Amino acid sequence: MPVKIRLQRHGSKKRPFYFIVVADARSPRDGKFIQKLGTYNPLTVPATINLDRQKALDWLHKGALPTDTVRRILSFKGVLYLKHLLRGVKLGLFDEATAMEKFQKWHGEHEAQVKKRQEEAMRARRAKRNQPSGKRPSKKAEGETGGEG
């Protein structure tokens, strides 16, 4: 049975919200699935992703193939990097403690970058909100000329 890790669309029209699921490749997009791994909300800035890393890693080890978008999400959350490190452990290149240490270091740096981007987006939104709108000033503010002219 070919198994894929893919997005299952929920939400209303023009307001998408996705579940990240493991499903048979032959089942419909929003149909039956095997297991739910998390959620993805592209409408927030930055996009909100909740993912169970361990379940996703287990399914990747079992041979489930992620779709392109899910592959990007797994890469962003570090699941593919963790799989890469565990492959090195399996080959005997280093021990599991070193692999987890490398992953924790990467995860800390990654979270700092995400937090920085989030703060920048928040500052940009506040600046845009505080900016005067593009409305034209009223005639009284422009200075009235006494009808003669």
Task: Indicate which CATH number applies to the domain containing 52.
Answer: 3.30.1320.10
Residue 123 lies in a domain: yes
What is the spatial distance between Cα 128 and Cα 86, in angstroms, rounded to a whole number? 45
Neighbouring residues of 28: CB distance < 8 A, sequence distance ≥ 6: none
What is the spatial distance between Cα 101 and Cα 118, in angstroms, rounded to a whole number? 26
Number of domains in the chain: 2
| Residues 110, 93 share a domain | yes
pLDDT exceeds 60 at position 14: yes
Summarize the confidence of residues 21-42 as an average pLDDT. Answer: 94
With tokens 């890693």, the residue in question is 57
Window from 30-34, 82-86, 137-141 with minimum mean pLDDT: 137-141
Give residue-wise pLDDT tens across range 67-113: 999 999 999 999 999 999 999 999 999 899 999 999 999 999 999 99
Residue 143 lies in a domain: no
Q: What is the pLDDT of residue 107?
A: 95
Cα atoms in the 13 Å half-sphere on the side-chain side of 118: 10
What is the spatial distance between Cα 41 and Cα 50, in angstroms, rounded to a whole number? 9
pTM above 0.85, yes or no: no
| Residues 63, 38 share a domain | yes
Mean pLDDT of the chain: 89
| Residues 70, 11 share a domain | yes
Q: What is the pLDDT of residue 6?
A: 96
Q: Residue 101's domain spans which residues? A: 78-129
| Beta-ladder partners of 41 | 48
